[in-house]
Structure 1
Amino acid sequence: MKKLFGVIGNPIGHSISPQMHNDLFAYYGIDAHYHPFLVEKGKLSEAIQGLKSLGAAGFNVTVPFKTEIIPLLDWVDPLALEIGAVNTVLIKEGSLLGYNTDGPGFLKSLEEELQMPERPSILIIGAGGAARAIFFTLEKTRPVVIDICNRSLEKAKSLSGEAKTNVLSRGLSLEEAENRVNEYDLIIQTTTVGMYPNIDRLPLNPGGLNKPFSAADIIYNPYETEFLKQCKLRGGSTVNGVGMFVYQGALAFELWTGIKPDSGRMRNTVLKQLGGTIC
């Protein structure tokens, strides 16, 4: 019997996860199908029961349900509890098991695509769900400092104060971060600023950068954001959001199937959907 997997969210029509996972199922000869499910707000519990009734083996969760789903699960991975969000669910023997692969997926993309000091100084732009996933994952790697800057200083300070290790972490305003920008080895952009169609916007002005550094942006449409362009002009090594998207999907696929998938193949599938250059 064909296994059912999927992604739930609202909106969901833009998702390219179905193309990525269905290609993997075909490649590995797995009799399964991955389908996008639009879930109306307020109907999450009914949607999950519907997926269980259909015999689903697992699913991804995207906005706006990553936090709302937690009380509906039978077990949640400790990292996902720290983050306060679940993006991957495994259904095993009728139980719903929740994970968050966003942070580990981002870390994997950094390790694959950037060369950095063993203990870097890090600045995260943004204090939303993606920032939380990245913050709680990276603080376990023992950076020298991992500061948070955000349009709302209160939110930046709130997230920095939730550190579970003894890593130094400060909440900064955007202006403070711009003034201290040369203190960091790695700057991570986690907001939607610069995403299509508003591609000319900058979340933070990197004009003061004048030292070796790396920059990451979790956005992958456009393929290179204005923020990354400006960082590259100042000599920075850059990485976009394709790697995070691919690796979080790879970790979910491995949880569901026990197979560690070909991430290069996944990347090519994503780039084809984005109309980018295949590498």
Structure 2
Amino acid sequence: MSDLFKIPLNTKTKLLFSTSGSNSSIHRHNTAIQKLGFNLCYFTFDGEISAKNYTDAIRAPFVNGGTVTAHNGLKSKVIPFLDYVEPLAQQTLAVNTIINKDGKLYGYNTDCYGLHTALTKGIKESKQDIKTAIIYGNGGVSGVAFKVLQDLGIKVTIIGRNTEKVAQKRKELGIENIPHFEGPYDLVVDATPISSSPELEQNTQFIDLVKDAKIVFCHAMPEKDNKKNYLLEYCNQNDISYISGEDMYIAQLIQQYKLYFENLDSQRKITEKDIIEAWGLYN
């Protein structure tokens, strides 16, 4: 563990992995876990790790589970190495939560819940009438976004810089027969890391979508890594409502840790309120 954080370990301590994170996230998650009194230690990997190596690590008998972040397409790449994948994760081609149940790996998607919560809240607060949406990018969040937007009754399509990758993503999701339609679009979902780029406005394909939108949702959280959010700045300057990825992250984290804790101790019932208080969410 980092010198910045000390946690007591014993022979019954279980580990909880993540494919990305920092010393501050190690401190934050372990502090919250200790507040709830679980014998569980959160640990992140530094650098790249393959889907096979990550799932092999989670399968160890002393590991409770692992979080899968969007980096390098891992949310889709881990799927072949799992013993069970819930239907929602199969449909969206995205697993962000893996549970080790006696050596068998179970894959879940709590991102859909998080995005549904964030969009529902953001659209309501904006008081905008949202009937159409476009997803920009073909990363792991694109499948989640397509599913959620359809569930909300919003007409949706996907585009991106790389048309071949977008076409492949549509095929993988089984939506290649859903016709593309032209904008303007009421809602733009940014499924790329472009929000932290100082060259944001030079991507005219993306900016042309944003400038005509009523609302923009960005799944990335540049501020988390002490980076400037150029997309948020652009939206503020142009009177466009902005829904932060943090709203999605918080909602999905609550569901994710309920899965982790239930697997660790099924007799102990941890509520949403318990997790909110331990992590200091919504403060």
- Same fold, TM exceeding 0.5? yes
Q: Displacement, 1:253?
A: 0.4
> Which residue does 2:157 correspond to in 1?
147
Pair 1:40–1:121, CA change in 2 (3 A): closer
CA distance in 2, matches of 1:233, 1:250: 33
Aligned-partner residue type, residue 58 of structure 1: G
Aligned mates of 1:128, 1:163 — CA distance in 2: 12
The number of equivalent residue pairs is 254
SS in structure 2 at match of 1:246? helix
Q: What is the identity, as a one-letter code, of the residue corresponding to 1:69? A: V
Mapped contact 1:251–1:260 kept (Cα < 8 A): no
SS at match of 2:239: coil
| Paired position in structure 2 for 1:248 | 252
1:77 deviates by 0.9
Out of 105, 112, 115, the position equivalent to 2:114 is 105
Number of the residue aligned with 1:205: 207
1:55 to 36, 53, 62: 62
Partner secondary structure for residue 243 of structure 1: helix
Structure 1 residues 199 and 28: CA distance shift in structure 2, 3 A: farther
Question: 1:93 and 2:102 equivalent?
Answer: yes
Instruction: Kindly state the Cα deviation for residue 33 of structure 1 after the two structures are TM-superposed.
Output: 1.3
Residues 254, 276 of structure 2: 8 Å contact kept: no
* CA–CA separation in structure 1 for the residues paired with 2:173 and 2:48: 34
State the match for 1:76 in structure 2.
Answer: 85
Paired AA for residue 110 in structure 2: T
CA RMSD of aligned residues (A): 3.4
Query: How far 1:36 sits from its partner (Å)?
Result: 0.9
TM-fit CA distance, 1:56: 1.0
Partner of 1:236: 240
| Higher mean C-alpha deviation, range 54-63 or range 217-226 | 217-226
Amino acid at match of 2:139: G
Write the letter of the residue equivalent to 1:170. Answer: H
- Rounded Cα–Cα distance in structure 2 between residues aligned with 1:6 and 1:91: 11
- If the length of structure 1 is used for normalisation, what is the TM-score? 0.75
Change in 2 beyond 3 A, CA 1:4/1:218: same
2: distance between equivalents of 1:68 and 1:166?
21
Amino acid of the structure 2 residue aligned with 1:201? L
Unaligned runs of 5+ in 1: 172-176, 270-277
Q: TM-score, normalised by structure 2?
A: 0.74
The alpha-carbon deviation at position 226 of structure 1 amounts to 2.1
